[in-house]
Amino acid sequence: MRQSRVIVAPNAFKGSLSAAEAAAAVARGWRAVFPEWVIHELPLADGGDGTTACIVQATGGRIYHKTVTGPLGGPVDAFWGLTGDGATVVVEVAAASGLALVPPEQRDPLQATSFGTGELIREAIASGCRTVFVGLGGSACSDAGAGILQALGARLLDKHGREIGRGAASLHDLDSIDVDDARALLSKINLVAGCDVDNPLFGPEGAAYVYAPQKGAKPEQLPFLDQALRHFAAVVKRDLNYDVSLLPGGGAAGGIGAGLAILGGRLVPGVETIMELTGLPALLDEGGVKLVITGEGEINRQSLRGKVPVGVARLAQAHQVPVLVLAGSVKLDPEEARSAGISAMLSITDGPLTLAEAMAQTAALLEKTAAQAARLLKIGLAGI
């Protein structure tokens, strides 16, 4: 008789556990109740922090380190990955231009740059790869990828013919843009940008108003920032005959989605590409999977726009496999969850806890909740 199988495929629990640590905790809880089950631990990401690690781990690849320009202009130790077959380079924006690299009191998306991510891409393409996958998420900047463009050889000039400065504030100075050299550099590369959201570049749902406050922008700065992104889009449309204004995902990572699209990058839901690279569809295709368990720190309406739990649920639903979501906080309507393929959601907190207490206990809470879910399933299997 074929053994029952469960796939454990969570995102990281930000500030608490990596995706691999979360998967291990869930697996421990499940194994305590069903020691005979085959448990597949498959840590995932949506394009943000942890993207490189999960893909490299799943494919037997390698991580390379490089000192690049950080979000505030100083040097940072960043990294990029190469899949085991050598065909795909993985660059995550968070590694070189991430919010976690900037102390809270210094965060300012008007000044932060994506230049270091461009430096990573430039080095990585020398590996001989065919595809560069850029994970968008966790960025400190809102510069529409202008820094990346500059690092790859594009010319972003002011009215005096000089290179504009770095950071979103300098986009107001943009008078002309020429990306021929950057496109030539990438001419033999399949450039793919993995978005963790589908927001446009500007407007009420754009990079400034929705995400810049999380990066340190003050309310009074948002109109100025949104106008900078609008101006960037207008110059791009005039000089390159390319309209990024309504591009789904153009606002991802502070507009880096739009910047990469200008270079011919294909914007895709990050979690879908990462699931493919890590082998989740193939595991489901093998059959015999009774349940998929996924999760992240909080599941809410934003999760419907490209986050790991919903991406996993939709894939599993196509294979008619139920999905359980474990989260620190559950703020998604059950009906919306079911429509997205989620069978059930459980909060891992079981009593009054401060956020700090919950984050310190995440591994234990995940393990405990997974075991409880397994016991409930065991009751159901017993026919009670």
Domains of the chain in sequence order:
5-42+279-381 (3.40.50.10350), 51-271 (3.90.1510.10)
83 — pLDDT class (breaks 50, 70, 90): very high
What is d(CA 46, CA 66) in angstroms, rounded to the nearest whole number?
A: 23
pLDDT at 362: 93
For the chain, what is the total number of helices (H) and then of strands (E)? 14, 13
Residues 6+ apart with CB under 8 A from 338: none
pLDDT band for position 156 (cuts 50, 70, 90): very high
Give the span between the Cα atoms of 132 and 82, in whole angstroms.
9
Measured CA to CA, the distance from residue 29 to residue 372 in angstroms comes to 8
Q: What's the pLDDT at 196?
A: 80
The answer to whether 152 and 186 are in contact (CB under 8 A) is yes
Question: How many beta carbons lie within 10 A of that of residue 347, not counting itself?
Answer: 17
With H, G, I as helix, E, B as strand and everything else as coil, classify residue 383: coil
The bridge status of strand 323-330 relative to strand 38-41 is unpaired
C-alpha 115/C-alpha 74 separation (Å) is 11
Q: What is the pLDDT of residues 158-217, one digit of tens each?
A: 999 999 999 999 999 999 999 999 999 999 999 999 998 889 999 999 999 999 999 999
State the DSSP code for 208.
Answer: I
Residue 383 reports pLDDT greater than 80: no
pLDDT of residue 1 exceeding 80, the answer is no
- Per-residue pLDDT of 104-145, as tens digits, reads 999 999 999 999 999 999 999 988 899 999 999 899 999 999
Q: Is 273 helix (H, G, I), strand (E, B) or coil?
A: helix
- State how beta strands 190-195 and 176-178 pair: unpaired
Return the pLDDT at 172.
Answer: 98
Geometric angle at alpha carbon 257, from 224 and 193, rounded to 5°: 160
Q: Which is more confident, 184 or 351?
A: 184
Q: How many CB atoms lie within 10 A of CB 339?
A: 12
What's the angle, vertex CA 296, arms to CA 294 and CA 299, rounded to 5?
A: 100
pLDDT value of position 115? 99
List pLDDT tens digits, range 313-348: 999 999 999 999 999 999 999 999 999 999 999 999
| pLDDT score at 381 | 77
Identify residue 384 by its one-letter amino acid code: I
Ranking 21-30, 224-233, 359-368 by mean pLDDT, the lowest is 359-368
Q: Which two tokens stand for residue 261?
A: 């699209």
Please give the average per-residue pLDDT across 20-49, as a whole number: 95
DSSP H or E stretch at residue 357: helix 355-360
pLDDT one-digit tens code per residue, 236-271: 999 999 999 999 999 999 999 999 999 999 999 889
Query: Percent of the chain at pLDDT above 90?
Result: 86
DSSP 223-255: HHHHHHHHHHHHHHHHHH----TT-TTTTHHHH
